[in-house]
Each structure stands twice: as C-alpha cells, then as structure tokens.
Chains A and B, each alone.
Chain A
C-alpha cells in the first residue's frame, strides 16, 4: 500500500510592513514638527550688520566676573523675602485650586461644571506670571503682597489643571465599590478617591513651589518684591558683577530645592 509523503510544515514568513503602517500618530506629529521647524527658519535672522560676536560675548562675560560678593548679605536678605513670597503664594494657590480641580475633574463633576471650571483655569493660565504681577502691582502697589497675589493667580491656573488630572487618573472602581455598600458620594471621595490622588497632589504642589521660587526671582523686575528687585537695580546701573552674585545665589537655592524636591517626591511617589 503506498504511503502518502508529507512534507514538514513550513514556518510562516513575516509579511513586510506597509508604508502606511509606519505613520503612527507619534511619527506623523514628529514629521509635522520637523516641517514646521524648517519653515520657521526663515523667520530667524540677524540685523545684517557685521558684528564681532565672540568679542561681544567675552566682553559681556568679563563684566560678570569676578562676582562682587560684598552684596551677598543684602542678597540673602532679599532671597528670604523671595522664599516667603513663593511659599505663601503656593499655599494659597493650592487651597484655592482644590475645589476648582474637583469641579474640573470629569470623573467627579457633571459635564457643564467641568466645562466652566476648565474654561476658568485656561483663562487664568493664558496670562503669564509677569503680567499677573504687573496687575497686582497696579492694584496693591510695588510690594511683596503684589508678588504673592501675582504668583498665586498664575499657580491656580496650573495647579487646578494638574490636580484635576490627578483626580481623573485614579481608578474609579474603589469609590464605586464603596458606593455599592451604601457610602455617601462624599465618603466615597474621602476614602476611595482622595487617598489615591493625594500623593500626586503633594508632588505637584512641591513642583509648583520650586517653580514659584524661580518665578519670584523674576517678578521683582516689575516691583513685586523679592530678589528680582535687586536684579533689576543692578541691571539698570550696569553693575554686572553684583548681578552675577544674585544669579549665583538663585542658582544655589534652585539647585538645593531641586535635590530636596527629588528626595521628597521619591518618598511620596504615587502608587
């Protein structure tokens, strides 16, 4: 009886990738960005004059060094004021942002309230911190209070959005489970949602404090108190060596805060 010969099964061959399969959203976005950058190059041009670029740069840098450390004491005093402005502004902003963020979180509030709250937050974010500070100086005069008000409004725009995102990122199954055993919506929020959003809220607040400390150094330019006032004065009088001392002090505090922030964030990292 003849036996049928069976050939061993061939392993399937991988079909080649079609060109359109490479057009992922990420790739297309990158391509558009690259094209936009190339087109935008036209807009970047100098004055057309012959300039000694390196000469100019080295002369300017020479003005900065060595830094004049005689103003260090005064600078540290101003730094204290800057720190106070940043801390108070961040605290007030986080308190105001929490209810706004709850209103703006799609998983917590009804659609119409989310739309209104998000519009308010977008409007606040549209205005840069320097302009908020200018407005505040116009209202309460050139003092640290203006700095606090200016930075507070700016921070509300960001913290409100970040906190809302934090609330939306929490898995809703746990609060739903609590509702299933008869918990009030507020109890479901307090014990099911808030404990999971809290580490993120803390982390964002810390980030905002770091940001505000840097911003508080700049808003002094418009008279809103802090170390920026000194920066402005030394720039106006061309005292670049003193200007440099102020910059070094800002660099030191920002670096310190960065390390401390990293350390703290690792300990309250969201789970």
Chain B
C-alpha cells in the first residue's frame, strides 16, 4: 500500500506536533518513525489509520495501483499494533489472533467461532513467536512481553497491506525484538506490505528499516526523512518527495 502525505499538519490541543509533512512512501517499505517521547509519533500513526483528525493537509492510501483514498476506506487492510496492545484479556491467545480477520468475515459467521483451518494458521503464527504451548491460555495470564507477541501475531494474521506498529518491541528481549522486526521486514520485502513502526533503538532502526522518518520536538516543521543505506543488493528508495 502506498502512503502519501500532502502538507500534513497534526495538532494536540493548541500545540503543533507536525507541520507541512510531505512524502510518498511506496508499497513494501519499512518506515521507522523516530523521535523523543511526546513528539507525536503515536499521533502520526493514528492519523495514518484515520483515527486522529488532521489539522491540515491530507493522507492518502493507495493499494493495487488504485488512486489514493482516505484511511477510513481501507480500514480492514490496516493492522494497528497498539502501544497498549488492546487484547481481549479474558479470551485465549488463539482467539485473540483469530480476531485479526474479523473485518473480513460477517458477524453471523463468527457467532459460533472460527474455521479449523484458520485456527491452525493462527496456531502456527503463535508457535513461530514462541507461544505455541500457551495457545489455549487466557491472555491475562501472560507476561507483558508475551502479550506483545500476541498483538504482533494478531496483526500478522490479519494479512493487511499496511502495518502501523506503535513500539511493537518495547517489552521484548533482544531475541524476540529481532524476531518480530524480522517478520515485519519480511512482510515488507516479500509481500510488498508497507510497515510504519515506532522505534526508539537506533541500532534496530539501522538494522531493519528502509526509511527513518524523524520528528523534531523543537520544531513541528523540522521533520526529516532519511533513506537508510543497506547491504549491497538492497534496493534504495526512490521517489520520496523530500
């Protein structure tokens, strides 16, 4: 999914967070959103999802070569990984992962549960993230890091065109942080899915991202976009409207 920012401005109360953001991110890119706390990274992700009202400008999402449309029209093709996870704590890990595809199924078909084939698929994802043994446990019985992996599994299971991951590795150890970001990077490279990911660790940004979008706490129009040079053979991003 292509993401187009046209003179985007975001405000929290009277304070400008971002102004004049102009960029075009082609499908299949891993964009790291960086900046200090409170600078507006989460608000930017919410704005891309259509959940945060823009103070000025426009955000367009285009999929399969179509023209850019508003985020609201692409809701079920967007997978947010929320900072507060928003898992259904009294349901099992397996059910929480299955919820990723609610947008694709009618409410009547989900009244009695999910097809066995999808359960198998969701279980494979959980196993891949080291949670296979707990699949039938309730989410509230898990640690914060384990819950974070469930939230990632739910987003992956959704098979979206755009991931909006708000600090998806904040509670994870180095191994699982690498595993999760590796999976998101794979989604971008192999399946041409676009990833926006809030990250605080500079080393992880350099290792996994194609582009770093930095927000400046001092100046709302001080944002910058930097293409990260990678190993030989990796494609550089072109067409960024800098």
Chain B residues within an 8 Å CB radius of A177 = 80, 82, 86
B107 touches A191 (CB 8 A): no
Interface size on B, residues (CB 8 A): 27
Q: Which of B84, B88, B110 has the most CB of A within 10 A?
A: B88
B49 touches A196 (CB 8 A): no
A178 touches B99 (CB 8 A): yes
Whether, in the assembled complex, B137 has its beta carbon less than 8 Å from a beta carbon of chain A, the answer is: no
* Cα A81 to Cα B62 with chains together (Å): 68
Q: Interface on chain A toward B: helix, strand, loop, or mixed SS? A: helix
Interface size on A, residues (CB 8 A): 20
Would you give the 0/1 interface string for A168-190, flagging 1 where the beta carbon is closer than 8 Å to chain B?
00000110111011111011001
A271 touches B107 (CB 8 A): no
Would you give the 0/1 interface string for B55-98, flagging 1 where the beta carbon is closer than 8 Å to chain A?
00000000000000000000110111010101111110001000
Whether, in the assembled complex, B28 has its beta carbon less than 8 Å from a beta carbon of chain A, the answer is: no
A181 touches B80 (CB 8 A): yes
> Among the listed A182, A187, A192, A196, which residue makes an inter-chain contact with B75, where contact means beta carbons less than 8 Å apart?
A182
* Cα A178 to Cα B79 with chains together (Å): 10
CB distance from A194 to the nearest CB of B (A): 9
Whether, in the assembled complex, A198 has its beta carbon less than 8 Å from a beta carbon of chain B, the answer is: yes
> Among the listed B75, B88, B102, B107, which residue makes an inter-chain contact with A174, where contact means beta carbons less than 8 Å apart?
B88
* Cα A177 to Cα B111 with chains together (Å): 19
> Among the listed A181, A192, A271, which residue makes an inter-chain contact with B78, where contact means beta carbons less than 8 Å apart?
A181
Chain A residues within an 8 Å CB radius of B87 = 174
Whether, in the assembled complex, B103 has its beta carbon less than 8 Å from a beta carbon of chain A, the answer is: yes
* Cα A182 to Cα B101 with chains together (Å): 9
Given A196-B88, A196-B90, A187 and B100 contact (CB-CB distance below 8 Å):
no
* Cα A182 to Cα B110 with chains together (Å): 14
B49 touches A180 (CB 8 A): yes
* Cα A187 to Cα B106 with chains together (Å): 9
Whether, in the assembled complex, A199 has its beta carbon less than 8 Å from a beta carbon of chain B, the answer is: yes
A182 touches B84 (CB 8 A): no
A181 touches B100 (CB 8 A): yes
Whether, in the assembled complex, A111 has its beta carbon less than 8 Å from a beta carbon of chain B, the answer is: no
CB distance from B168 to the nearest CB of A (A): 14
> Among the listed B86, B90, B91, which residue makes an inter-chain contact with A199, where contact means beta carbons less than 8 Å apart?
B90
Whether, in the assembled complex, A80 has its beta carbon less than 8 Å from a beta carbon of chain B, the answer is: no
Whether, in the assembled complex, A110 has its beta carbon less than 8 Å from a beta carbon of chain B, the answer is: no
Whether, in the assembled complex, A238 has its beta carbon less than 8 Å from a beta carbon of chain B, the answer is: no
CB distance from B165 to the nearest CB of A (A): 13
- Closest chain B residue to A184, Cβ basis: B107
B79 touches A271 (CB 8 A): no
Chain A residues within an 8 Å CB radius of B103 = 181-183
* Cα A198 to Cα B89 with chains together (Å): 12
B90 touches A182 (CB 8 A): no
- Closest chain B residue to A177, Cβ basis: B86
Please name the 7 residue pairs, one residue from A and one from B, whose CB atoms are nearest each other, closest first. A182-B103, A182-B76, A177-B86, A183-B102, A195-B90, A184-B107, A186-B107
- Return 16 A-B CB contacts under 8 Å, by A number: A173-B84, A173-B86, A174-B86, A177-B80, A178-B99, A180-B51, A180-B80, A181-B79, A183-B103, A184-B106, A187-B102, A187-B110, A190-B107, A191-B95, A199-B90, A271-B140
Question: 19 more A-B contacts (CB under 8 A) besides A184-B107, A186-B107?
Answer: A174-B86, A174-B89, A176-B86, A178-B86, A178-B102, A180-B49, A180-B78, A180-B80, A181-B78, A181-B99, A182-B75, A183-B103, A187-B102, A191-B88, A191-B91, A191-B95, A192-B88, A195-B91, A196-B90
